[in-house]
């Protein structure tokens, strides 16, 4: 993947849909079927959002452990002292939750505004699309094999 082009397209998307004060629902995500592309997205987000905390490996540093409840994970996100959080592969924390808890988490994340800003980079899957169809909507990004997700309420 051309990292310079990826940086350009992600910056453009962040400026329009995440960092703009005109946008109410700012929590967004990027997905890919390729884990290598997903790593490139997360690394590029780190560069573009240097004041954001990065959650990549559960239980390491100040990142929540994998076996965390939905309520506690939401509380940890909201308690962040950083401008925002980049969550790499959030499915690491959610994989042991019930379907109802997953839906409640994505619904809450899509509706938050005026709180800790969240940018997700996650592996694209049929399960994610089925669970989140009511909460987040996707669109392809031109020139890269990455999908952009924004809250359904943002439309």
Residue 102, pLDDT above cutoff 70: yes
- Burial of residue 47 (CB within 10 Å: 0-12, 13-18, 19+) is exposed
pLDDT tens digits, one per residue of 31-50:
999 999 999 999 999 999 99
What does the chain come to in residues? 155
pLDDT tens digits, one per residue of 116-137:
899 999 998 887 777 877 889 9
**What ranges do the domains of the chain cover?**
27-154
2-16, 86-100, 117-131: least confidently modelled range: 117-131
Model confidence band, residue 155 (pLDDT cutoffs 50, 70, 90):
low
**Residue 146, H or E segment:** none
152 Cβ contact list (under 8 Å, min separation 6)? 110, 134, 135, 136, 137
Average pLDDT for the chain: 91
């Amino acid at each position: 993947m051309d990292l310079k082009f990826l940086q350009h397209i992600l910056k453009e998307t962040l400026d329009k849909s995440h960092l703009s004060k005109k946008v109410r629902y700012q929590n967004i995500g990027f997905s890919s079927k390729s884990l290598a592309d997903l790593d490139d997205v997360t690394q590029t987000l780190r560069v573009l959002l240097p004041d954001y905390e990065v959650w990549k490996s559960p239980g390491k540093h100040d990142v929540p452990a994998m076996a965390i409840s939905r309520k506690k994970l939401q509380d940890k996100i909201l308690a962040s002292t950083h401008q925002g959080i980049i969550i790499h592969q959030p499915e690491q924390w959610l994989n042991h939750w019930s379907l109802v808890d997953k839906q409640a988490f994505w619904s809450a994340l899509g509706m938050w505004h005026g709180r800790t800003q969240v940018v997700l980079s996650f592996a694209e899957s049929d399960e994610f699309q089925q669970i989140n169809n009511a909460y987040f909507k996707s669109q392809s990004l031109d020139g890269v094999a990455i999908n952009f997700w924004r809250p359904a309420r943002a439309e």
